[in-house]
Chain A
Amino acid sequence: MLDFAHIPVFESVLPFPNPAGAMQEKRQRQSEANKNQERSGIGRMTYDVTIIGGGVIGCAIARELARYRLKTVLLEKQCEVGFGTSKSNSGIIHAGHHSDTRTLKGRLEWEGNQRWDALCEQLGFGFERIGELTIAFTEEQRAKLEALLIQGRERNIPGLEIWEPDRIRIEEPALTGEIIAALHAPTAGVINPYEACFGLIESARANGVEVIVDFPVSGLKKRDEGWIVVGPDREIKTRFVINAAGLYADRIAEMAGVGDFEIRPRKGEEYLLDKRLRGMVKKLIFPLPTPTSKGILVIPTFDGTLMVGPTAHLTPDRENITTTAEGSDEVFESVRRIVPGISERDCIAEFAGLRASVEGEDFIIGPTAAKGFINVAGIQSPGLTAAPAIAERVADILADEGLGMDLRDDFDGGIPLPVRFASLPLEEQVRLAEEDPRYARIVCRCEHVSERETVDAIHRGAHTLDGIKFRTRAGMGRCQGGFCTWRCMELLARERGMKLAEITKRGGGSWIVREREDGEREEGSRA
């Protein structure tokens, strides 16, 4: 699936110095020191660590903590992990040179970037280093490219080079001829962010981490030996709380009595284009970034569909994931200046997400004045890229804060890799279909998703239509579920023993159909 032979620059840098090894030693020492403390009464805590929030950050932390002999639980307020901001993430693993080195995100971006190859191999989510171009239209902008190039080289990011128009025309002929230079960064990649969440959490669970969904946290109570986390139907005792609550991280911090920052949601609208444009643009295309945004991009997603966006506008409403006519105009006008061949007519779907940004625009990661309460907040771009590095940092912080961190010797980092039937070579398809004919029964005709893949997704945890869609792509194609919705509902009903009327799009009140009321009416008339 991934052929890194095409990125030779990587080999010259590999092996990366692996800070994890050194840190693990440190943590182990810490753990010895803490053992006595644990035995002296803290054992009655139900959990060692409670992670609030099942976005990609929470999932990455859960997977990282699964390496240790800890009792860890992740709480997610929605019905599945990854259904908040992570689901609407642009899905970019940033090259590593964009953010200012003086910032925390600048340091974690490149560190995180280097972790994704191994994770992809173990967890099987869609990830490919397709490279990116940051483009300049003026000499002034070219100077900024040079500055980015220097910033990247200082960080030892391999393969960075400035391309002149003739090279750009050969590599990306669909781009406008008005571009005078571009900075090529082969270390940038695209990823399916929701698949990354599902893979990380599946691996965490396989190694003993518990996950509780539909669990919005409504309160935190400090106790001498830790915290009590209050949810809808029960309270959870824990020694440490990791606040990875994304858009609501400030509210959770307030509950812990350390509400000293404010989340300022910044909305991004994205527009997905029909797959007939596949291959029109091969690399990620970035205009020059501004302090608050990386601009409106052209994103060839891992699945080959072009996506354009996102916008970046502050909104006071944390649930405002609306798309707007203005946003659409802004995106397509901006993209047309880069790729004249893209228009609104190519759009098959649109969505919006909210970045959990904070004043200062940097990550807030660390312990707080409230002992045992650790913030992982203000995570916006390049948060997805940095996620594995953030997770490692959180493990370090826990060790520093006195949690005993014994490495498990039975940790298994891999999961059974999901089969992507449509992308297998024909001989392999034929072989699998002979083994299980459900591989040859098509559920989603646009993305050629089979019944077997759909059933597997359900058994791996999907219990909503969106859960199936984001695991298999069923419903993501050009007919947007017109064909497969009913088939997916029938499979969910069959595999989970649900009634069709109980099936939802994404949990809560997002029901799809209701039953006829004939029966009810009859009863009513009798009464």
Chain B
Amino acid sequence: MITRRPSQIHSVYDVVVAGGGPAGLAAALGAREQGAERILVVDREPEAGGILWQCIHAGFGLHHFKEELTGPEYAQRYLEQVLENEIDVLTDTFVADISRDRRLKLMSGGDGIKAIAARSVVLGMGARERTRGAIRIPGTRPAGVMTAGLAQKMVNMHGYLPGKRVVILGSGDIGLIMARRLTLEGIEVAGVFEIMPHANGLSRNIVQCLHDFDIPLYLSHTVAEIHGRDRVEKVTVAPVDEKMRPIPGKGWDIECDTLLLSIGLIPENELSRQLNLRMDPVTSGPIVTSTMETSMDGVFAGGNVVHIHDLVDFVSQESLLAGRSAGLAVTGQRPPADNIRLSPGENVAYCVPHTISTDRPHTVYFRVRKPLEKCSIRFGDVLEKKLGYVFPAEMVTLKVQPKFLANFHGDALSVDVVPRD
């Protein structure tokens, strides 16, 4: 255990961070940087650090620390900074509710039910995995159908194996990582099946986790049926038509005892909904300003709770900003309000933040809807940036300097990704 229980829990904090994963830890540090005094991070697990603890593979921190770390190493570095900065961390504690005047209902096996108040709140609850029900895979309901993240927890945190022969549906990063991890454990991975015509994970994971281990990846394929009464006995896989429906007669059966699902993440926004925050239907996360403030004064958000990231480094970066803003709000030094609304245009699914200002630089994150080679990002007509390729699985980052906006006098900008001729 790295974190210790704080000697005293105050009844009022400057900043309370809901969630002690990479987002929450970075936000707490950001708040400290900006002079917030009493800061509390609340996490439901026995140790803060979130999903990083079960991500024992390397590949974290290349952007942020300029070196390749494992998940636990990345978590450890942040936790050490959090402790050095005398930020309180309350683990094994669940934020059950937040009121509109920023009082939090905390529940824990140690403390029972307690209420605390916060001047600013940062939401850093991360994401959960999509499950079988979300895509309605036909067939029986045996044991052995589980999300890739649950399997990862079983193997890496507890030392148990999910099965002997595995099929993976979806080419999300966790599924790819688990294909390699299970292979190393002596489990046979029969293949990864992706309904889209392109992979959903990072290219480096396709190469390092599938190609290097001769695990086949079937694009435009899905699991059409699950068989087995008690435990998975086999799955029927099949190519899909343009409507993503399995093509009749083209499927085949694969014997396996486990079906892992790596079909995407959903921002964990129970608390955001309780607060009635304005939500973006595309990201399923709250709508945020350029300071990562939600539609409610004093409530900020960062990381996967806002939109799903590919790399933890960007989660940290975005949440650091959310935390800084939360700290500034406490000391009453808010930057000028945003004056430009960003709207996703051609081949752009969403943009975060949803608004920006003309007075300072911003980082805008977005995802495209379909892959494109030799293309340009158009930021209204004030900025055009050439790109070699874009890919839905890889988030695009765009730095916007005030100088680009110097001659812009409108209140909305469209972000488009268009082919270059």
A residues at B contact (CB < 8 Å) = 271-272, 276, 319, 321-325, 327-328, 344, 347-351, 426, 429-430, 433-434, 437-442, 445-446, 448, 451, 478-483, 485-486, 500-501, 504-517
User: B150: which of A445, A482, A510 is its contact (CB, 8 Å)?
Assistant: A482
B67 part of interface (Cβ distance < 8 Å): no
A515 partner residues in chain B, CB cutoff 8 A: 160-161
Q: Bound complex: CA of A221 vs CA of B273, how far in Å? A: 61
Instruction: Answer whether A514 and B139 are a contact pair too, CB < 8 Å, given A433-B107, A448-B96, A485-B150.
Output: no
B341 to chain A, nearest CB (A): 26
CB of B94 within 8 A of chain A?
yes
Question: Contact between A325 and B245 (Cβ–Cβ < 8 Å)?
Answer: yes
A482 contacts B164, C-beta separation under 8 Å = no
Task: Find out whether the CB atom of B160 lies under 8 angstroms from the CB atom of A323.
Answer: no
Q: Is the CB of B113 within 8 A of A501?
A: no
Known: A482-B131, A509-B230, A510-B230. 11 other contacts (CB 8 A): A276-B273, A322-B140, A437-B109, A441-B92, A445-B94, A482-B149, A505-B143, A507-B230, A512-B143, A513-B162, A514-B161
- Which of B151-159, B194-202, B372-380, B389-397 has 4 or more CB atoms under 8 Å from chain A? B151-159
**Are A325 and B138 in touch, CB under 8 angstroms?**
yes
Among B105, B111, B270, contact of A437 (Cβ-Cβ < 8 Å): B111
In angstroms, Cα B143 to Cα A438, docked, is 28
- B contact residues around A451 at 8 Å (CB): 109
Contact of A479 among B113, B129, B160, B231 (CB under 8 A): B129
Q: Which residues of A lie under 8 Å from residue B163 when comparing CB positions? A: 514
User: Can you report 8 residue pairs joining A to B where beta carbons are below 8 Å apart?
Assistant: A323-B138, A349-B132, A351-B141, A480-B133, A512-B143, A513-B162, A514-B163, A516-B185
Q: Separation in Å of the A349 CB from the closest CB of chain B? A: 4
Cα of A512 to Cα of B230 in the assembled complex, Å: 10
Least Cβ–Cβ distance between B29 and chain A, in angstroms: 26
Partner of A482, one of B44, B128, B143, B160: B128
The CA-CA distance from A485 to B164 in the complex, in Å, is 20
Which listed residue, A325, A426, A507, A513, touches B160 by the CB 8 Å rule? Answer: A513
Given A322-B139, A441-B108, A442-B94, answer yes or no on A433-B113 (Cβ-Cβ < 8 Å): yes
CA distance A437 to B108 in the complex (A): 7
Whether the Cβ atoms of A486 and B113 lie closer than 8 Å is no
Select from chain B the residue with minimum beta-carbon distance to A326: B138
Chain A nearest CB: distance from B5 CB in Å? 14
Q: Which residues from chain B contact A500 at a C-beta distance below 8 Å?
A: 158, 160
Asked if B161 and A516 sit within 8 Å, CB to CB, the answer is: yes
Q: In whole angstroms, what is the CA distance A482 to B112 when docked?
A: 24
* CB pair A434 B112 closer than 8 Å: yes
Does B136 make an interface contact (CB < 8 A)? Answer: yes
When distances are taken between beta carbons in the complex, the residues of chain A under 8 Å from B136 are: 271, 323, 325, 328, 344, 347, 350
Contacts of A319 in B (CB 8 A): 229
Bound complex: CA of A328 vs CA of B139, how far in Å?
A: 12
Determine the distance from Cα of A348 to Cα of B149 in the docked complex, in whole angstroms: 18
Once the chains bind, are B112 and A433 in contact (CB under 8 Å)?
A: yes
A511 touches B143 (CB 8 A): yes
Which residues of the other chain, A, contact B205 by a CB distance below 8 angstroms? none
How far is B144's CA from A508's CA once the two chains are assembled, in angstroms? 13
Contact B154–A349 (Cβ < 8 Å): no
Is A445's CB under 8 angstroms from B44's CB? Answer: yes
Q: Are B141 and A483 in contact (CB under 8 A)?
A: no
Q: Is B134 an interface residue (CB 8 A)?
A: yes
B146 at the binding interface (Cβ < 8 Å): yes
Alpha-carbon distance A327/B96, docked complex (angstroms) = 37
Q: Is B249 an interface residue (CB 8 A)?
A: no
Contact in complex: B140, A485 (CB < 8 Å):
no
List residues of chain B with CB within 8 A of the CB of A486: 150, 153-154, 158
For residue B225, CB closer than 8 A to chain A, the reply is: yes
- Cα–Cα, bound, A351→B154 (Å): 26
Question: What 3 A-B pairs come out closest when comparing CB atoms?
Answer: A441-B109, A349-B133, A433-B112
Tell me how far the C-beta of B378 lies from the nearest C-beta in chain A, rounded to whole angstroms. 30
Chain A residue at minimum C-beta to C-beta distance from B108 = A440
User: By the criterion CB–CB under 8 Å, are B133 and A482 in contact?
Assistant: no
Most buried by B among A434, A437, A440: A440
Contact string against A for B residues 90-130, beta-carbon threshold 8 Å, 1 for contact and 0 otherwise: 00101010000000010111111100000000000000110
Bound together, the chains give a CA A433 to CA B107 distance in angstroms of 9
